[in-house]
Amino acid sequence: MKTAIVIGGGFAGCTWSHLLARRGFRVSLFEQAERLGGGCKTMHYGGHPYTLGPRHLFTPHHDSLEFIRSVVPLRQLHHYLLTYVEQDGQFYSYPVHADDIDEMPDREAILGEVERRGDPATARNFEEYWIASVGPTLYEKFVKSYSKKMWQIESNTLLTDFKFDGKGVQLRTGTKEVRPDYHVYYPSELAGWDTYFEICAQTPGVATHLRTRIDEVDVRHPGVRVDGQWHRADLLVSSLSPDLLLDKCYGELPYVGRELLLLVLPVEQVIPDPIFFLHYAGKQAYTRVVEYKKLTGYTSPSTLISLEFPSMTNKLYPYPIKAEQEKAARYRAECSDRVLSVGRMGNYRYYDVGDVVHEALTKIKDI
Ligand X SMILES: Cc1cc2nc3c(=O)[nH]c(=O)nc-3n(C[C@H](O)[C@H](O)[C@H](O)COP(=O)(O)OP(=O)(O)OC[C@H]3O[C@@H](n4cnc5c(N)ncnc54)[C@H](O)[C@@H]3O)c2cc1C
| Nearer of residues 50 and 84 to ligand X, judged by Cβ | 50
CB of 245 to ligand X, least distance (A): 10
Phi, psi for 6 (deg, rounded to 5): -120, 130
DSSP 67-111: HHHHHS-EEE---EEEEEETTTTEEEESS-BHHHHTTSTTHHHHH
Cβ(219)–Cβ(245) under 8 Å?
yes
Phi, psi for 34 (deg, rounded to 5): -75, -20
| Nearer of residues 142 and 292 to ligand X, judged by Cβ | 292
Q: Which residues of 23-41 are buried (b: 16+ CB within 10 A; e: fewer)?
A: eebebbbbbeeeebbbbbb
122 CB neighbour count, 10 Å cutoff: 9
| Nearer of residues 100 and 352 to ligand X, judged by Cβ | 352
| Nearer of residues 17 and 133 to ligand X, judged by Cβ | 17
Q: Which of 260, 363, 245 is nearest to 316 (CA)?
A: 260
What distance lies between CA 161 and its chain's CA centroid? 16
| Nearer of residues 139 and 286 to ligand X, judged by Cβ | 286
| Nearer of residues 111 and 367 to ligand X, judged by Cβ | 367
CB of 322 to ligand X, least distance (A): 20
Binding site for ligand X (CB under 6 A): 7-13, 30-33, 38-40, 52-58, 213-214, 239-240, 258, 316-317, 343-345, 351-354, 356
CB of 347 to ligand X, least distance (A): 8
CB of 68 to ligand X, least distance (A): 10
Helix (H, G, I), strand (E, B) or coil at 20: helix
Q: Which of 252, 225, 246, 249 is nearest to 319 (CA)?
A: 252
CB of 33 to ligand X, least distance (A): 4
| Nearer of residues 128 and 177 to ligand X, judged by Cβ | 177
The rounded distance, in Å, linking the Cα atoms of 352 and 167 is 13
CB of 224 to ligand X, least distance (A): 8
CB of 252 to ligand X, least distance (A): 15
Cβ(343)–Cβ(239) under 8 Å?
yes
CB of 138 to ligand X, least distance (A): 24
DSSP strand pairing (223-226 vs 216-218): antiparallel
CB of 240 to ligand X, least distance (A): 5
The rounded distance, in Å, linking the Cα atoms of 209 and 213 is 9
The rounded distance, in Å, linking the Cα atoms of 257 and 317 is 6
The rounded distance, in Å, linking the Cα atoms of 179 and 202 is 34
| Nearer of residues 12 and 85 to ligand X, judged by Cβ | 12
| Nearer of residues 98 and 262 to ligand X, judged by Cβ | 262
Q: Please give the C-alpha separations between residue 248 and each of 27, 53, 106, 242, in angstroms, as whole numbers.
A: 27, 29, 49, 8
Q: Which of 7, 2, 14 is nearest to 225 (CA)?
A: 7
CB of 124 to ligand X, least distance (A): 27
| Nearer of residues 147 and 239 to ligand X, judged by Cβ | 239
